[in-house]
Each structure stands twice: as C-alpha cells, then as structure tokens.
C-alpha cells in the first residue's frame, strides 16, 4: 500500500467543509490500507496571496519526517495545489473565488485604485492557477459540476467530476419531526437570511426551524429573526458537535440549504444519508446538482416566496418528506469512500 499526503489550506481558528472532506479522505485512505496524513498549507489574507503560493511551492512533500518516501499527494484547494510531487492528484474544491466567479460582486466594493490593483493580481492568479492545474498535477478532479464549469469558463481547464460522499458518521433516521433544520456557516454566501425571510412569509406560517452554525452574520440573522416576529419558532442553536448534528438530522422533517453557487455542500449529502429531503435553490450550485426536484427534495427559485412554498409543501406532509428522503438516500448510497479512494489513488 502507499504513503499518501492529503493537503488543503485553511486560515487559523476557522472551520470549513473542505476540512471535513480532507479528514474524511484521510480516514478512508487508512481504512483502505494506505498510510495517510493531513497537511495544512497557508492561506493568506488579501495582498499576501503570493507569499502563500510561494511558501506552499517551497514545501517539500517528497519525504516524511523519518526519511521515507511519500508515494502520492492529493490536494484540495488553493494554494495547496502548488505543492510539487511526481504523483499529484488535485480533487479541486475551489480556487480563490473572489478572483473568479465572485469577482464582480467583490470588486464592485473597491475603489477605482483598488480595482486596478486587484485586476492585475487577478490576472496573475489566473495565470498561476492555470499553470499549476494543468502542468503541476498528474490528474485533476472537480468536486462538482459547478466547480468543473467554473474552471472551464475562467481558465479553459477540463476536469473530471467526482462527488465527495458524506463523512463517515453514524447517520440514522428517527422519524420526520415538526421542524426544519438548517446547518451552515453564517456567512453572506450561505443566504441563511433568505430562509428566515421565507419563514416570515404567510405561506410558511407556523413552521418551526432550528438553525445551527456560527459566523459573521450571526448577529444580523438574530436581529432579522426578532424583527420578523419569529423568535418563538426559529432558534439559533450555535455551534454544534457531531453527536448533536446527527441527532438533529435524525429527527427533522427536512433540511434547507440555499447557498449561492456553492462548490459542493456536504449538508446535502449528510441529509440524504439521514433519509431527509433537501430544499435548495436553482442557483445554489452543488446542492442543486444533487437534489432531484420532486424526487429527493425541492429546488426553488431563490426568493422568499418561492422558498416558503417549498417549505410549506414538505412541512405539511410527513409522508411526502419520507418519500423524498428515501429518494435522497438512494442517491447517497451511490457515493462511497472506497470508490473515491479507488479513483484518487494512482500509485
């Protein structure tokens, strides 16, 4: 069996779905008999990206601390794919999105001098990523069609899609309760505020909801809940652990996950593993790829009214929720970590 390094980047004191993927992949590799370890490369703030790319590039991953040869590396996101290795598979979560699909949204907030400077940096990052993802890696996978299409559009790079399975957790279904479950980092692109707005619509009157997660939007969402008169039926649960996550998933009626152009979104896979339907939006990216409308959940217009109607349908009919949950579970059963390992390991 092989000695494999799984590498991703992440800022300190933060948590993200790609870390869950990385840790799950390490576990799956070990269960398949490989010796695997996780390497975290730097992800610097704006204006310091070049230093992060360079530091990653100069990191030696050819040998372990005891001098034994590393047979392969698997990288997940920028700039970890700058690592050098003769057997290098990139399972791409995303590049730095502010310089890709989020450019117009992000650059519009800059001064004209800032846009000029960042436009130059954007060109350099595109050139660097194009080189690294075509000439520095042995094989390139994308974690969703959304990521695949993004790289084709902005960099002319082709990638094979490989969806990550749900993390190895003790998922179960203990019925279809009377609450909607939302679990997400509370950040603008996750659009939890849209869910709150939908719950305030007459179409969603009386629906209870539990929102789990932390993030920079927490205070704003708490204020929106109070201002919308939803404090009695919408609860912010904060950060939850794995046991609590599995428990909430096991008892909820459905999961609502409506991010904007999400790269993948583990929440959908975890809901399906728990036999729960997922409500998402047409422009949600990865989740909208996984959900089949009317079969494993509902895909709504990204409006409060459209979302409220979808929520109402599933909350009014436990039998429907169960049928959709079975559809999602069938989809989840087609994704497996042994299959992912088989495709990602090349040595």
Beta strands in the chain (DSSP E): 3-9, 35-41, 72-77, 88-94, 139-142, 160-161, 179-183, 208-212, 234-238, 254-256, 278-281, 297-300
The secondary element (H helix, E strand) that includes residue 250 is: helix 242-251
How far apart (Å, rounded) are the C-alpha atoms in residues 293 and 320?
A: 13
Indicate if the pLDDT at residue 46 is higher than 80. no
CA separation (Å) from 141 to 44, 259, 347?
A: 24, 22, 16
pLDDT digits (tens, 9 = 90+) for 150-176: 999 998 999 999 999 999 999 999 999
Q: Are 284 and 195 in contact (CB under 8 A)?
A: no
Under CATH, which number does the domain 179-333 receive? 3.40.50.2000
**Which CATH number among 3.40.1130, 3.40.50, 3.90.930, 2.60.120 corresponds to the domain 3-162?**
3.40.50
Sketch the domain layout of the chain as residue ranges. Answer: 3-162, 179-333
For 289-325, write each residue's pLDDT tens digit.
Answer: 999 999 999 999 999 999 999 999 999 999 999 999 9
Same fold, 3-162 and 179-333: yes
For 188-215, what is each residue's pLDDT tens digit? 999 999 999 999 999 999 999 999 999 9
The dihedral built from the CA positions of residue 196, 197, 201 and 203, taken in this order, carries a sign that is negative
Beta bridge partners of 37: 5
């Amino acid at each position: 069996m092989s000695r494999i390094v799984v590498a991703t980047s992440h800022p300190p004191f933060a948590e993200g779905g790609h870390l869950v993927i990385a840790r799950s992949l390490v576990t799956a590799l070990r269960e398949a008999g490989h010796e695997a370890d996780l390497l975290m490369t730097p992800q610097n703030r704006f204006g310091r990206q070049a230093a992060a790319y360079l530091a990653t590039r100069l990191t030696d991953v050819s040998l372990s601390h005891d001098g034994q040869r590393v047979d392969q590396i698997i990288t997940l996101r920028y700039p970890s794919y700058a690592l050098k290795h003769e057997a290098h598979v990139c399972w791409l979560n995303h590049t730095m999105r502010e310089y890709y699909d989020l450019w117009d949204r992000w650059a519009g907030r800059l001064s004209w001098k800032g846009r000029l400077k960042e436009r130059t940096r954007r060109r350099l990052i595109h050139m660097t990523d194009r080189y690294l993802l075509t000439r520095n890696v042995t094989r390139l996978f994308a974690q969703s069609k959304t990521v695949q299409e993004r790289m084709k559009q902005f960099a002319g790079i082709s990638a094979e899609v490989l969806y990550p399975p749900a993390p190895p957790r003790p998922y179960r279904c203990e019925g279809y309760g009377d609450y909607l479950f939302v679990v997400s980092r509370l950040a603008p692109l996750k659009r939890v505020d849209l869910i709150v707005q939908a719950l305030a619509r007459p179409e969603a009157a009386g629906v209870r909801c539990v929102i789990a997660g932390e993030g920079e939007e927490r205070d704003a969402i708490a204020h929106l809940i109070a201002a919308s008169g939803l404090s009695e039926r919408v609860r912010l649960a904060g950060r939850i652990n794995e046991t609590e996550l599995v428990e909430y998933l096991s008892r909820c009626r459905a999961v609502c996950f409506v991010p904007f152009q999400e790269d993948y979104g583990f929440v959908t896979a975890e809901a399906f593993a728990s036999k729960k339907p997922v409500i998402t939006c047409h422009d949600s990216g990865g989740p909208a790829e996984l959900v089949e409308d009317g079969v494993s959940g509902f895909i709504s217009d990204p409006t409060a009214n459209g979302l409220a109607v979808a929520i109402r349908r599933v909350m009014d009919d436990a039998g429907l929720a169960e049928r959709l949950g079975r559809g999602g579970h069938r989809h989840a059963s087609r994704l497996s970590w042994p299959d992912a390992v088989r495709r990602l390991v090349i040595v």
